Amino acid sequence: MGTRAGIASGLAAFGTFLVVHSLWITPIWHIAPVGALFAAAIGAAVGKVYEGLPPRLTGLPWGVGAAFAGGAASLAPAIVLAESGLRAGVAALPVVVAATSAPRCSSALPWAC
């Protein structure tokens, strides 16, 4: 049961990621076939591990909310900084510089010459 639920959860999360990414950033539908395989495999692994947890750990009513709140709190500063940089046009600057400048060779990155 846990493996099938994990696969479904992984595919649902990946589908949501694709839709949000295409609406917010840029469409990346070309990664859907390979990404779906990875999402299903990782979801199956997570579901199998979750299935093996003792019931006293999986039945906490506040567990999912606490995990979501912790994740959101840890990502909030990065989202604020990224959005403020995008609005100011700062994030596009390295892309423009990289696209318009001559290539530079570096001994650290010989393959980039």
Residue 15, pLDDT score: 94
In order of 11, 16, 37, the CA distances from 29 in angstroms are 14, 12, 14
Name the DSSP class of 101.
S
d(CA 56, CA 1) in angstroms, rounded, equals 18
The pLDDT assigned to 52 comes to 77
Residues of the chain with pLDDT under 50: 92-99
Q: Are 35 and 14 in contact (CB under 8 A)?
A: yes
- pLDDT reported for residue 16: 93
- pLDDT reported for residue 103: 53
CA dist 86 and 10 (Å) reads 30
Predicted pLDDT at 40: 94
Query: Whole-model pTM?
Result: 0.52
Report the candidate in 5, 27, 7, 6 with the shortest Cα–Cα distance to residue 17.
27
pLDDT digits (tens, 9 = 90+) for 39-52: 999 999 988 888 87
